[in-house]
Amino acid sequence: MYKNGKYQETDKMSDLICENYPMVLVMSRFGIALGFGEKNIGEVCRQNKVDTCTFLTVVNFLVEEQHSPSPVENINQCLSLETLMSYLHNAHDYFLNFRLPHIRRKLVEAIEDCPKDVAFAITRFFDEYAGEVHKHMMYEEKNVFPYVRGLLGGRKDPKYNISIFMKRHDQIEMKIVELKNILIKYYPGAGTNLLNSVLFDIFATESDLASHNHVEDYLFVPAIMALEKQIS
């Protein structure tokens, strides 16, 4: 289990962040703020009422498996689904209410001097992409999470199972790849620092979404499948 991965609860939280800066976002999605001084991971998690094993499972999975993710054995032995759902919910909130609106504002400003029809097309493409992300994440919020909470309460919905989610779990990060390629290959205006900054944000968001999907595919879904077997 990933509790026995690279990072242990006795390691300093500051070392984790300094060695793997994307973990700042992971930490935030667990509801942990900066300013933890010299405390170790276990102390910081307990102080913030975060299940330490779940935190370490996600962190070690992303640190060790981000290039070639693989299923985790005995996933249900050391993972709090409630904690993981809170993490995923906070990630959804970050993407929908901060990251995507922030990129859109910068994108609109960066392309304001290009031909109006081109600016309109690029903005529309981004809005369509953001709409797909919203649809995907709201499905989880309204259907998957309530289903899992029912399972945790010992109730199994005869009309639903996690395989339904798996079938419709499209890889939403693919459309942002298209937007990135449009700006790189076909943007007609001169490159600017602002446009380069937008591209950097898009690259970072593409990577972040891929990690988000990996957590769902290789941690969240297998844990739910294990719970379904326990109840049936």
105-154 pLDDT tens trace:
999 999 988 889 889 999 999 999 999 999 999 999 999 999 999 999 99
Backbone φ and ψ for 38, nearest 5 degrees, come out as -100, 10
Q: Which residues of the chain have pLDDT under 50?
A: 1-3
* Among 195, 213, 202, CA closest to 176: 202
Tell me what pLDDT residue 1 has.
44
pLDDT, tens digit, 9 for 90 and up, residues 32-47: 999 999 999 999 999 9
Q: Which distant-in-sequence residues (6+ apart) come within 8 Å of 117 by Cβ?
A: none
**12: three-class secondary structure by DSSP:** strand
* Beta partners for residue 40, in sequence order: 12
The Cα–Cα gap between 16 and 161 comes to 36
The Cα–Cα gap between 58 and 78 comes to 11
Angle between helices 116-139 and 100-110 (to 10 degrees): 180
